[in-house]
């Protein structure tokens, strides 16, 4: 891997000065919102063993529920983006956080597997739309020099949300069963409105929403060109992604994203069930162990954001973290048996899993031209993630009864991570810390 270092070093005082005031406040509000939503969604993974016992179903049923949720989310993410551009970031932030929490809370009320499946699909479909909304808000408000770091840190909501969900589940599952674990989601509904009241609409959206035809008429030639490109039919945007100039970037990013997210989707949602069925840990203790594992994973975002911005390139960081994550996960599966070692191994493994994602997402977004950036982000990013997340639960839930958890995770998590890293080595090694126009040219 070629090392093209960032041209500017990190200065803590400069960072604090740049993000103080509205940028850091906006970031913290978005982080809190997505963390609460992720916590809600994580509760389902801890409830899977109880759901299987209560409804008398096999692992393939919750696997199908997860897959259907991701399949529907692949479409709702696009709809959420369009509505956000139309109604505004703040309004959609409130609506999606509140609605997703409502549907998660309704899990506790489902008396049949059909109703539970419906609530699971609706909850995740709405929650998935919150991620691009908050990412857009942070990108539009963050200082340019530290946009990559704040965007990476926003994704800490994933392990933090899973850790909080595990903390709740560990205290409730043993005493009250799986249904009671979903009731805390109802408390998120009023919190959505409190956070929304503190969140200001971004200046960029207000400027766009308030633009008039007269204002557009005096735009510069370059702006007019970009606007014209942005208004082209969707199929023309997609066709340009496969043009000779961009085809390599598009295919590499798409394939690498699918492989890496096979590991992430499979491991994260089935880890509680893996600990319960394979390691003989109770449901409550499994959730308690994962509190610490997810806490360790959250550290990976800080480390990856610094390494990817100031020591290595984003590409090299993605590759390094994917390969290290694969090795650590394999060692944990095959050599760690005691609860402490398993907890530590899973924490380090997921730290690398999510650390690689914190750099992959800005990498995929920034290397495409401005006129195609949103289309590229959705096509080679969100859609690829949804495809991986749709397919993997179906495969894992079907294969585990035949091969066992260790071999299943090795084939469908460890190997895909190794392949993902190999795929990303074929991507140009773009430098960090420069304007996106230089990367996407």
The confidence band for 224, taking pLDDT boundaries of 50, 70 and 90, is very low
Tell which wins on pLDDT, 305 or 102. Answer: 102
Number of CB atoms found within 10 A of residue 94's CB: 18
Q: Report the b/e string of 145-175 with b at 16+ CB within 10 A.
A: ebbbbbbbbbbbbbbbbbbbbbbbbbebbee
CB 97 within 8 A of CB 81: no
Q: Is residue 14 part of a domain?
A: no
Instruction: Classify residue 10: in a domain, yes or no.
Output: no
* Per-residue model confidence (pLDDT) at position 430: 78
pTM: 0.71
Q: Are 439 and 367 in contact (CB under 8 A)?
A: yes
Q: Is the residue at 198 inside a domain?
A: yes
| Spatial distance between the Cα atoms of 154 and 226, rounded to a whole number of angstroms | 28
33-53 CB burial, b ≥16 within 10 A, e <16: bbbbbbbbbbbbbbbbbbbbe
Kindly state whether residue 330 falls inside one of the protein's structural domains: yes
Q: What is the pLDDT of residues 170-211, one digit of tens each?
A: 777 777 888 988 998 899 999 999 999 999 887 767 776 655
Query: Would you place residue 217 in the very low, low, confident or very high pLDDT band (cuts 50, 70, 90)?
Result: very low
How many angstroms from the chain centroid is the CA of residue 81?
15
Query: Which CATH number does the domain housing residue 428 bear?
Result: 1.20.1250.20
Q: Is residue 152 part of a domain?
A: yes
Q: State the residue range of the domain holding 389.
A: 19-206+234-440
Residue 364 covered by a domain:
yes
The reply to whether 211 falls in a domain is no
pLDDT at residue 1, as a whole number: 43
Lowest mean pLDDT among 4-13, 186-195, 302-311, 367-376: 4-13
Q: Report pLDDT digits (tens) over 111-160.
A: 999 999 999 999 988 888 788 788 778 877 888 777 778 877 887 887 78
Gap between the Cα atoms of 223 and 228, Å rounded: 9
Is the model more confident about 69 or about 10?
69
Query: Residue 318's pLDDT is what?
Result: 93
Q: Contact, 182 vs 108, CB < 8 A?
A: yes
Find where tokens 């909850």 sit.
123
Written as six digits, the tokens of 328 are 């650590």
Question: How many domains does the chain contain in total?
Answer: 1
């Amino acid at each position: 891997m070629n090392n093209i270092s960032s041209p500017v070093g990190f200065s803590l005082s400069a960072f604090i000065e740049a993000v103080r005031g509205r940028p850091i406040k906006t970031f913290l509000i978005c982080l809190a919102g997505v963390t609460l939503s992720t916590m809600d969604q994580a509760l389902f993974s801890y409830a899977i063993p109880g759901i299987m016992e209560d409804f008398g179903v096999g692992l393939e049923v919750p696997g199908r529920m997860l897959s259907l949720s991701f399949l529907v989310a692949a479409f709702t993410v696009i709809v959420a983006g369009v509505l956000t551009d139309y109604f505004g970031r703040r309004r959609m932030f409130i609506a999606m956080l509140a609605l997703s929490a409502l549907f998660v809370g309704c899990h506790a009320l489902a008396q049949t597997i059909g109703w539970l499946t419906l609530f699971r699909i609706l909850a995740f479909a709405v929650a998935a739309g919150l991620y691009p909304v908050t990412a857009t808000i942070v990108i539009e408000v963050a200082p340019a020099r530290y946009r990559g770091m704040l965007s990476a840190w926003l994704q800490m909501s994933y392990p933090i949300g899973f850790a909080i969900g595990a903390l709740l589940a560990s205290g409730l599952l043993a005493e009250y069963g799986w249904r009671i674990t979903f009731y805390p989601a109802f408390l998120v509904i009023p919190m959505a409105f409190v956070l929304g009241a503190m969140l200001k609409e971004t200046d960029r959206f207000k400027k766009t929403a308030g633009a008039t035809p007269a204002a557009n008429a005096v735009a510069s030639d370059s702006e007019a060109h970009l606007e014209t490109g942005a208004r082209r039919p969707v199929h023309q945007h997609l066709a340009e992604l496969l043009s000779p100039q961009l085809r390599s970037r598009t295919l590499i990013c798409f394939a690498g994203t699918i492989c890496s997210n096979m590991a992430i989707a499979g491991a994260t949602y089935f880890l509680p069930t893996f600990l319960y069925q394979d390691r003989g840990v109770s449901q409550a203790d499994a959730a308690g162990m994962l509190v610490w594992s997810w806490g360790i994973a959250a550290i990976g975002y800080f480390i990856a954001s610094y390494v990817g911005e100031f020591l290595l390139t984003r590409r090299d960081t993605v590759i390094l973290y994917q390969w290290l994550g694969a090795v650590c996960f394999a060692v944990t599966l095959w050599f760690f048996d005691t609860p402490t070692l398993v907890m530590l191994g899973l924490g380090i493994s997921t730290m690398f899993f999510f650390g690689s994602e914190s750099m992959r997402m800005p990498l995929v977004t920034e290397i495409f031209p401005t006129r195609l950036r949103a289309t590229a982000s959705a096509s080679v990013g969100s859609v690829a993630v949804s495809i991986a997340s749709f397919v993997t639960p179906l495969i894992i839930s079907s294969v585990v009864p035949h091969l066992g958890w260790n071999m299943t995770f090795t084939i469908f998590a460890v190997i895909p991570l190794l392949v993902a890293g190999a795929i990303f080595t074929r991507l140009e090694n773009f430098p960090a810390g420069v304007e996106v126009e230089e990367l996407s040219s």
